[in-house]
Every structure is written in C-alpha cells, then in structure tokens.
A and B are shown apart, each in its own frame.
Chain A
C-alpha cells in the first residue's frame, strides 16, 4: 500500500462548481497536512496547511482532515478557470520530510 494515495484525475468541472480533492494515507505518524497547487512546469505553491483534525478555511478554500479515517480533503468553492492546475497533497510526521501524493489535475471549464 502506498503511503499517500491521490486520484490523479483528470478532473474537469464547470466554472462556479464546488471541487472536492482527496487523499488517503496509511502512515499514522503523519501529523502535518498540506495542499500545494502546481502549474505546469512550475514549483509547488503552498495553499493550505493544518496539523489537527477538523476544518480550516481560507477564502474559497477549505482543508479538512480526518485522522481517524486517514483521509484529507480540499474543497474549492466558486471555482474559477485560474484554479486549473495540479493539486498536490503532502504530509509529514514532524521529521521534516514531506511525502507527496501523485497530484490531481484539475480543469475548470468557463
């Protein structure tokens, strides 16, 4: 079983829709959870981070962590064409190394 699993997509939704992106993980030592956005041939850009179960909201983005189910989600409300990118989940156990998912390629259709 992979440490971090993420559906690679591609995922296409119409502009204005709510997007749900998800990752599951197997390592109980993971305590810190991050979502990065990556445009083609660019570096990952940090979107959200959290270190506890529950929800964290930042503008149109909501990160959700369920440690009991080892499941994290990122919700994007009122999606825009500029949200089209690859979304990477990443996590760590506090030992500095980030373990990434494969990334989900998202396209928002105008």
Chain B
C-alpha cells in the first residue's frame, strides 16, 4: 500500500540554524500539506500546496517558513532561522480530491528539536 514517507525521523538543531524537512508524498496525489504537533497539543495546519504554489497557509506559517516541490517526487519544508518554539513533530500529508472527500494521508513525521 502506498504511503507518505518523511526524512529525517529526528532532527536536532541549534537555535537560528536553517532546517529542511523532506517528504515523499503518495505518487498520484496532487495536494500536499504540512502540519505540526507540539508535544501534548493538537495537530495544527501549516500550509497546503497545489499546482506548484501555496494554496493556503496558517498564521504560524510566517516568513521563516517556505515550501518547495523541487522535483516530481519530493516536497520540502524549510525553516530559515529556527526558534525554540519550533520544536514539534512535523507531519507531511498528501491527498487527492478524486472522491471529493478531502481525505489526507499522513507521513510518520519528523521530530524537530531546537536547542
């Protein structure tokens, strides 16, 4: 069964450093998302991406964040200058509206720790 994959599983970085989180969505999906989950809190939407551009972003997704689909398979989230409060699990998701159900399939996540 196809699945969303994410690398690395755990990333430790120093405050102020840039990090890139990588995702390989399910191959025939057209919609791509990033969510985050701070420990003990709910899953929060960051950004959605369709047709090579951002279709929606949340207040969390400020100028420090960017997304890119550099080739036909990868989808990346870049945080330019990490802050302590960026420590969280980051989930990539992909979906298709073929059934008009808005279902999204999540990857296993990258745990980002900012020191």
User: Within 8 Å CB of A90, what residues of B?
Assistant: 43
- In the assembled complex, how far is the CB of residue A85 from the closest CB belonging to chain B, in whole angstroms? 14
B109 to chain A, nearest CB (A): 5
B75 at the interface (CB under 8 A from A): no
Question: Contacting A43 at CB < 8 Å: which of B31, B42, B45, B109?
Answer: B109
Q: Taking the complex as formed, is B7 at the interface, i.e. its CB lies under 8 A from any CB of chain A?
A: no
**Interface stretch among A14-22, A62-70, A75-83, A96-104?**
A96-104
For the side of the interface on A, what is the size category? 20 to 34
| Residue A28 at the chain B interface, CB threshold 8 Å | no
Other than the given A46-B106, A88-B42, 14 more pairs (CB < 8 A) read A32-B102, A36-B106, A41-B109, A45-B106, A51-B101, A51-B102, A88-B43, A96-B56, A96-B102, A97-B33, A97-B48, A98-B33, A100-B44, A101-B42
Residue of A42, A51, A98 most packed against chain B (CB within 10 A)? A98
Chain B residues within CB distance 8 Å of chain A: 4, 31, 33, 35, 41-45, 48, 50, 55-56, 58, 89, 91, 93, 95, 100-109, 111
A contacts, CB < 8 Å to B:
31-32, 34, 36, 41-46, 49, 51, 88, 90, 92, 94-103
